[in-house]
Amino acid sequence: MARVRGADQLKHIAIVGFMGSGKSRAARALGGVDTDALVEAAAGKTIPKIFADEGETAFRMLEEEKVVAALGGGAVTSPRVREALRDTLTIWLDVDVDTCWERVKNNTRRPLARDETEFRRLYEERRKLYAEVADVVAKDVHDVVLAVAGVVVERGALERLAELVPGDGTVALVSDPHVAGIHGATAQLALGPRLAETHELPPGEEAKTLAAVARLWEELRLGRDGTIVALGGGCTTDAAGFAAATYLRGVPWVPVPTSLVAQVDAAIGGKTAIDLPQAKNLVGAFHWPARTVIDPALLETLSEAQRLEGMAEVVKTGLLAGEPLWELPDDELVRRCAAYKAAVCLRDPEDKGERKMLNLGHTFAHALEAAAGYEGVTHGRAVALGLLAALRLSGRDTAVVEELLHPKPVRVDRDRAWEALLRDKKGALKLVLLKGWDVEVPAEDVRRELDRLIA
């Protein structure tokens, strides 16, 4: 089975669904392996050849031995497989029969997809079995990724907080004064008797200081079975997540992001950190949330300026995905961006490879923020400028960034910004560009582009 990082341990994941539902694509998105590929490798022949030589029964016996992320459409007909799935997170990729048929009708590698009438009969017959084993029902690969990552994207999710926070232990709610004034009462009512304590962090980057986190450590009274719920923007989730990673050597936590920046990026993937005067996010920990609860309805309280902050991360994600995700309506925009980042983080949970690409533009952005002393240059504004620099160094057109984000140079000390860039946690002069990550760029080119971002 695929092994994927969960809240406090690696989880076994199984994806079930009919032929043509997209299970193999979903498994690849998670870095998993398709059952069919393992069966063919074990048998030394293709699946059509197995069916022709030995029949479906022999194929199912091989499949039982190779239960991995994406199960063949008929795997659930085996009682042994259904029993094995009791110990997995089983996701049913439920796609309509017409779509499935269109995808496989001309595929000679599908022995059971040669007669449409029989195909449709099997579809109806197996739906009962998929429903029996499923823990989660997904409509597409993005839903599968979110389910595996423990991310819920749902309007009204804030009001279901008590049931969405895993476990039955007590909860410490952490927020900042502004967010607490808007959404705090709803969150407290939703948590009900599970809520044991409430805490406030300072607004903005001040939350990500050692002093602010130290106060939170001192105030917390949770036991090891308790959960920290972080309600707020990216600074709140970063700081509260770091507190959760370190308090009692680590307690579960649930981010509930309220800003667009946090919903599409900051609250996803288990990175937690605080800042030092020398550079941003220099002290942190990987601590995957027990669950991430995203309610797109909370975005309705944002100002246009706050939305523009978040759109910088949306544009970054769209550039990486190669799709204009910024054109989608809010709910789908958040779902798709969250799923994209979650998939990358699941494949590279500790930032040792492809996850580095999520820092597109951020080397420059963090340098500008540090040079401003984390005051006066917001994260979204800095990321927009950083994307300009990254696109220029990638030899790409900057029109999308300029038209959507309207970046303007900022007034910071040039030498201080350069020093902060050289202290960047990703490594001096190793940049994330659209052509790859850890790209070594001559110092004079990096300095030139940094200077262009400074008024």
The mean pLDDT value for 332-357 works out to 92
**Residue 127 shares a structural domain with residue 22:** yes
Residue 307: half-sphere exposure toward Cβ, Cα within 13 Å: 14
**Residue 410 shares a structural domain with residue 312:** yes
**Residue 162 shares a structural domain with residue 207:** yes
- The 10s digit of each residue's pLDDT in 370-380 is 999 988 899 99
Mark residue 88 as left, alpha or beta (left: phi above 0; alpha: psi -120 to 50; beta: remaining): beta
What per-residue confidence (pLDDT) applies to 70? Answer: 66
Q: CA angle at residue 213 from 313 to 344, to 5 degrees? A: 30
Instruction: Identify whether the C-beta of residue 12 lies closer than 8 Å to the C-beta of residue 87.
Output: yes
Which residue has better confidence, 427 or 292? 292
- The 10s digit of each residue's pLDDT in 205-252 is 999 999 999 999 999 999 999 999 999 999 999 999 999 999 999 999
Partnered with residue 430 across adjacent β-strands are 440
Q: Which residues contact 73 (CB under 8 A, 6 or more apart)?
A: 17, 18, 19, 21, 23, 112, 122, 126
What per-residue confidence (pLDDT) applies to 1? Answer: 38
Which residue has better confidence, 356 or 4? 356
**Residue 408 shares a structural domain with residue 294:** no
- The 10s digit of each residue's pLDDT in 67-117 is 445 677 788 888 888 888 887 888 999 999 999 999 998 887 788 888 999
Nearest one of 200, 193, 149, 195 to 2, comparing CA atoms: 149
Query: Distances in Å between the alpha carbon of 233 and those of 204, 241, 243, 331?
Result: 8, 12, 16, 17
**For residue 5, what pLDDT band results from cuts at 50, 70 and 90?**
very low
Q: Quick check: 38 pLDDT over 60?
A: no
Q: Quick check: 15 pLDDT over 70?
A: yes
- Mean of per-residue pLDDT scores for the chain: 89
- Domain limit, last residue, from 149, 175, 201: 149
What per-residue confidence (pLDDT) applies to 428? Answer: 63
Of the ranges 23-32, 49-58, 333-342, which is most confident? 333-342
Please state the separation of Cα 248 from the chain's center in Å: 26
- Domain limit, last residue, from 132, 149, 166: 149
**For residue 120, what pLDDT band results from cuts at 50, 70 and 90?**
very high
**Residue 293 shares a structural domain with residue 156:** yes
Query: Distances in Å between the alpha carbon of 117 and those of 17, 60, 97, 126?
Result: 18, 22, 11, 14
Instruction: Identify whether the C-beta of residue 264 lies closer than 8 Å to the C-beta of residue 333.
Output: yes
User: What would the two tokens of residue 129 be?
Assistant: 């079995």
Q: Quick check: 304 pLDDT over 90?
A: yes
**Residue 432 shares a structural domain with residue 288:** no
Supply the CATH number for residue 207's domain: 3.40.50.1970
**For residue 404, what pLDDT band results from cuts at 50, 70 and 90?**
very high
User: What would the two tokens of residue 430 be?
Assistant: 């190793």
Q: Quick check: 10 pLDDT over 60?
A: no
Query: How far apart (Å, rounded) are the C-alpha atoms in residues 141 and 343?
Result: 10
Q: Length of the chain, please? A: 455
What per-residue confidence (pLDDT) applies to 112? Answer: 83
**Residue 10 shares a structural domain with residue 123:** yes
Which residue has better confidence, 12 or 163? 163
What per-residue confidence (pLDDT) applies to 260? Answer: 97
Supply the CATH number for residue 415's domain: 1.20.1090.10
- Domain limit, last residue, from 122, 149, 176: 149
**For residue 11, what pLDDT band results from cuts at 50, 70 and 90?**
low
pLDDT above 70: percentage of residues in the chain: 91
**Residue 354 shares a structural domain with residue 452:** yes
Lowest-pLDDT range of 277-291, 407-421, 437-451: 277-291
**Residue 236 shares a structural domain with residue 285:** yes
Helix axes 234-246, 210-219, angle to 10 degrees: 60
Which residue has better confidence, 46 or 215? 215
Which residue has better confidence, 221 or 279? 221
What per-residue confidence (pLDDT) applies to 34? Answer: 52
**Residue 356 shares a structural domain with residue 241:** no
**How many distinct structural domains can be found in the chain?**
3
Which residue has better confidence, 78 or 201? 201
**Residue 145 shares a structural domain with residue 205:** no
Lowest-pLDDT range of 2-6, 30-34, 37-41: 2-6
**Residue 107 shares a structural domain with residue 201:** no
- The 10s digit of each residue's pLDDT in 163-187 is 999 999 999 999 999 999 999 999 9
Instruction: Show the domain range for 171.
Output: 152-302
Q: Quick check: 337 pLDDT over 70?
A: yes
